[in-house]
Amino acid sequence: MIRSGDTVKYGEHELQQIKFFNYSENNKKSVIFIHGGAWRDPNNTYDDFQEIIGNILSRDGSRANLIGVNYRLSPQFKHPSHLIDVVTALNTLNVHYSIDNIILVGHSVGATLLLQLLNYKQIIDLGVDKSDPRITTNPPASLNVSLKDLVFVDGIYDIVDLIDEYPGYALFVNEAFNSLQHYKDSSQLSSTVFQQNPLFALAGETPRFTVVQSLQDELLSARQTHGFVKFLDSLGIVPLVFFGNYGLHEQVYKLDQLANILLELLNSTSQ
């Protein structure tokens, strides 16, 4: 029996773990958090969200499962290992713990992974270098969860544009990807593969999109978010968009503003 605070593994690597911050088999809704950290920082884990989870629980959030996902990091593991891990973790939650009806929250490259989920089969296929021994997990055949809401927090959505704005960021991008072509093909905003049919490969209805950007973020300007919102608009998708003074890059996922947004989404998400 799973209890709040327990962790479970979804693969053999030590980072392929899921943490249940709050869980009841009777809960019909779940919020799942995907951390950032430039695909490589071991200091960023599912525990990044302890503070905001405590905030949510203190305000009648116990009716939802609150769960964090870790994934393997670069440079030991290259793209699409991170995406494969997130898909595998979500399927594990669905198959073994009946987790569905999900609000999925991604911060920084966690938001990148959320966007990639929408075309995960194509992006994994384009990114897999079968000669690379670091690709040790077979790509999942399907994603078996119902994503009701996607919440993108101070995210990276177009890596080509990111490096144009911040040339120094090529250092950590090159640690996460095998080639320039791989990171071009990892985003619907930069890959020519998705120009005709950019979204979505998910089954069921299109999820709601919420985009959050702190104007105080010292690592990412609002340029990525403006480009992403423009991209969604070109598809006829109108997201909820929040720009505000929500703290620095590693503060935005801890503060009351994001907790307020998530509680509102929980209240409005159907059973």
Tell me the torsion sign for CA atoms 2, 110, 64, 56.
Answer: positive
- Do the beta carbons of residue 102 and residue 151 sit within 8 Å? no
Residue 128: inside a domain: yes
Instruction: Examine the residue annotation and report whether 249 is marked as an active-site residue of this protein.
Output: yes
For tokens 């990148």, the residue is: 112
Exposure letters 245-267 (e unless 16+ CB within 10 A, then b): ebbebbbbbbbebbbebbbebbe
CA–CA gap between residue 5 and residue 220 (Å, rounded)? 32
Question: Which residue among 4, 41, 100, 249 is the active-site one?
Answer: 249
pLDDT at 175 (0 to 100): 96
Residue 124 domain boundaries:
7-268
pLDDT at 62 (0 to 100): 80
DSSP state for residue 242 in the 8-state scheme: E
For tokens 């999820």, the residue is: 207
Question: Which residue among 48, 158, 185, 217 is the active-site one?
Answer: 217
Provide the number of structural domains found in the chain. 1
Residue 196: inside a domain: yes
Residue 150: inside a domain: yes
The residue count for the chain: 271
Strand partners, 9: 17
Supply the CATH number for residue 79's domain.
3.40.50.1820
Question: Dihedral (C-alpha) 196, 202, 203, 206: value to the nearest 10 degrees?
Answer: -80
Burial of 193 (0-12, 13-18, 19+ CB in 10 A): middle
Residue 2: inside a domain: no
pLDDT values of the chain reduced to their tens digit, one per residue, 271 residues: 788 889 999 999 999 999 999 999 999 999 999 999 999 999 999 999 999 999 999 987 688 999 999 999 999 999 999 999 999 999 999 999 999 889 999 999 999 999 999 888 889 988 876 556 555 456 677 788 888 899 999 999 999 999 999 999 999 999 999 999 999 999 989 887 776 555 655 555 678 999 999 999 999 999 999 999 999 998 888 999 999 999 999 999 999 999 999 999 998 865 5
Residue 132: inside a domain: yes
Other Cβ atoms closer than 10 A to 3:
9
CA–CA gap between residue 97 and residue 111 (Å, rounded)? 24
Helix (H, G, I), strand (E, B) or coil at 146: coil
Question: Which residue among 74, 81, 108, 191 is the active-site one?
Answer: 108
Helix (H, G, I), strand (E, B) or coil at 187: coil
Residue 1: inside a domain: no
pLDDT at 139 (0 to 100): 67
* Residue 88, C-beta contacts closer than 8 angstroms, at least 6 positions apart: 10, 11, 16, 137, 140
Residue 143: inside a domain: yes
